[in-house]
Amino acid sequence: SQKIEQNSEALNIQEGKTATLTCNYTNYSPAYLQWYRQDPGRGPVFLLLIRENEKEKRKERLKVTFDTTLKQSLFHITASQPADSATYLCAPVSGGSYIPTFGRGTSLIVHP
Amino acid sequence: NAGVMQNPRHLVRRRGQEARLRCSPMKGHSHVYWYRQLPEEGLKFMVYLQKENIIDESGMPKERFSAEFPKEGPSILRIQQVVRGDSAAYFCASSPPGGAHMNTEAFFGQGTRLTVV
């Protein structure tokens, strides 16, 4: 069955450091993969999308990589700030259904 | 341009009652997705609709749950004869014409938190 794995333990880092979050998937052939941010009590907010033929995508302090051989995406936040503290969700989108399917998310806590 | 609007934000129902959750997509969006989120769990896909059509309902329980997206008006997720296990946050998302085939993101509402007592 299809499975999406994100670190279940919270990631604690110091302000200014780079945060790296991991998303592994099995039994998927995603046409693309999305990353969202979710704050407590609120809906997810889209951050970045990376296609299967792209290795890396950047947007300001954010960087996403996509390795279809390893079946893994990495999400980086450079120069992290306390305001980056949130839960980050990855969502591979299969070429068949085209329905975003979400992992459990990883909680990021940036300490001042 | 208003975002995706969900109402009510909070809904309390007694066991056995019906819950109706509404979602107005962003202007110009014709695709709607419904997800359920339990505490400490991820978003679970329920149903994908276009105007007047259910495209994929593979994530929706066969009994008591139904969804519609009429030509006019919001999308409705209906839960009949609610049970305590239905307590969760229900999120709606919308995307432009072409849906996810266009490699676009989904825009989420703030959710409806259903509590069954």
Alpha-carbon distance A63 to A74, whole Å?
Answer: 8
Give me the long-range contacts of A106-109 (CB less than 8 A, separation at least 24).
Answer: A106/A6, A106/A7, A106/A8, A106/A9, A106/A10, A106/A11, A106/A21, A106/A22, A107/A10, A107/A11, A108/A10, A108/A11, A108/A13, A108/A19, A108/A21, A108/A77, A108/A80, A108/A84, A109/A10, A109/A11, A109/A12, A109/A13, A109/A85
Residue B103 pLDDT: 59
Q: How many domains does chain A have?
A: 1
CATH number, position A88: 2.60.40.10
Q: Do A43 and B91 touch (CB under 8 A)?
A: yes
Q: Average pLDDT, whole number, for chain B?
A: 91
Give B99's pLDDT tier (boundaries 50, 70, 90).
low
Residue B1 pLDDT: 54
Write out the residue range of the structural domain in which residue A41 sits: 3-111
Q: Which regions in chain A score pLDDT beneath 70?
A: none
Q: How many CB pairs under 8 A join A and B?
A: 55
pLDDT tens digits, A81-101: 999 999 999 999 887 777 888
pLDDT at B100 exceeding the cut of 70? no
pLDDT tens digits, B12-32: 999 999 999 999 999 988 899
What's phi and psi for B99, nearest 5 deg?
A: 55, -145
Calculate what percentage of chain A has a pLDDT beyond 70. 100
Q: Do B109 and A43 touch (CB under 8 A)?
A: yes
